[in-house]
A and B are shown apart, each in its own frame.
Chain A
């Protein structure tokens, strides 16, 4: 039982980060209609900015995180202003390929500067364990869960309560009517990307903290937010969260059970699991658990 609790905690911790990355994707998709494959690149940005600020400049960790988040948001807004805005009204395929290209650029920059080695972020968690009700769990997992929950709550409050959140929801529903209320579509677009950048950076830091370490492979981890989105529904923030958590738990449980009971499946079968789930969902329920049927992929 305590092993299961450990596994589920680890799975939820990982899943909460998938959920954040997926949430950033959904915010951009709903606000601007863009399928943003570069989201994983923003995750890398956040983690490497944090690494550079912590190790090259020797800043305290919390300050490094804060500045890395701000810098990533700036990168996201620049991408929107300089690239995506010129693509408004262009064919969907061209827009997707542009974000794909941006992902590759964002992946290559840290690899060129710091190489492919596994780096330590310089975070305070390391390998430390914490005892919760007699069960030992990694401290970094608890922090990750805490950060994940806090960001989700903040995103929820922003969209549910604030006038800017309301303006963004309205603009996603009917841009022309939103403009007539004095809402600027350009600002809504920039804001969506900034939010995606903030969330991605936090996810990047947490995903490379503690025992996990930092390498350009992080963008592959970020890619697993896509199965989460497919599970949850591309246009549903709730779906992003549920899908992310489900993928995280499925991945961690698979890793453990395959090692114990089905070693013939190999050591990396858990990495396949999210995509198996994604494929199954695409066959059975292509708009996801919480998505609207109008959203077609193709």
Chain B
């Protein structure tokens, strides 16, 4: 099976401080691949490179063989990379429908002039995409909330909506930045199920950054541990849990 995403020797520095040095990994289609590591290890930096917010100093990022380094975020979205944000990238004043509909912006083709003149093709496109959003919300059991403004919904539901929006982009690769941070056991379970549902129904490859080890070990196919911006180990949950280098990175060197 060929790789969906290939990352080779990725390096990022901020004013002389190396945030990432020479990290490489692959993600296969339909795979749930997690990146773990202590705070400041460089997990979110990897995400920001993958979604085009940072430009790496060196290294290659390829999606289905196509080089992505240097492309702006809007082009990466169009090529099939969707992400969620650690502290939620939802638009609070907009409704659930509007938020998720935005995920489909790059899939909608009608011109600006058509939008301004409200041509029949524009109206039809809007109607079709709204219907598609309702389908996606249904998958998450949120169809009833379509017209609710994000601002009044509880945190756990917002996290689900952000995943729904990322899915609405019909991505090839989904980047989930701490999807269960700050959640209780039940909410964590609900999100985990949603993530597995997405994989089952859409076959989307996913990269997950998460601190909740129980969740990560349960749903990941493979994991990569990093520390101080450097690769520590890659393997299955079982391999990672028993890898002495990973244990050392987390617990410190045994005296």
Contacts and interface: CB of A to CB of B under 8 A. Distances in A.
Interface residues of B, number: 36
Contacts of A98: none
A262 to B, nearest CB: 45
A148 to B, nearest CB: 18
Where chain A touches its partner, the secondary structure class is: helix
A162 B126 CA distance: 7
Given A174-B89, A182-B169, A163 B51 contact: no
B115 A170 contact: no
Interface string B109-131: 01010011010001001100100
A181 B106 contact: yes
Interface in A198-239: none
Contacts, number: 85
A67 interface: no
Given A162-B122, A176-B53, A169 B89 contact: no
Nearest to A194: B112
Contact of B89 (A154, A167, A177, A182): A177
B77 A182 contact: yes
A154 B113 CA distance: 13
Contacts of B53: 176, 179
B73 interface: yes
Contact of B85 (A161, A177, A182): A177
A133 B116 CA distance: 35
A181 to B, nearest CB: 5
A169 B74 contact: no
A170 B98 CA distance: 9
Contact of A177 (B90, B108, B110, B122): B90
Contacts of B169: 181-182
A184 B89 contact: no
Contacts of B94: 166, 169-170, 173
Interface in A147-186: 154, 157-158, 161-167, 169-170, 173-174, 176-184
Contacts of B91: 169-170, 173-174, 177-178
Given A164-B112, A173-B92, A181 B126 contact: no
Contacts of B125: 163
A157 B102 contact: no
A191 interface: yes
A154 B118 CA distance: 9
18 contacts: A162-B115, A163-B101, A165-B115, A166-B102, A169-B94, A170-B91, A173-B91, A176-B53, A177-B85, A177-B91, A179-B53, A180-B51, A180-B73, A182-B74, A182-B169, A183-B74, A183-B105, A184-B74
Interface of A: 154, 157-158, 161-167, 169-170, 173-174, 176-184, 191
- Considering the complex of A and B, which 4 residue pairs feature the smallest CB-CB distances, nearest first? A177-B89, A182-B106, A182-B77, A179-B73
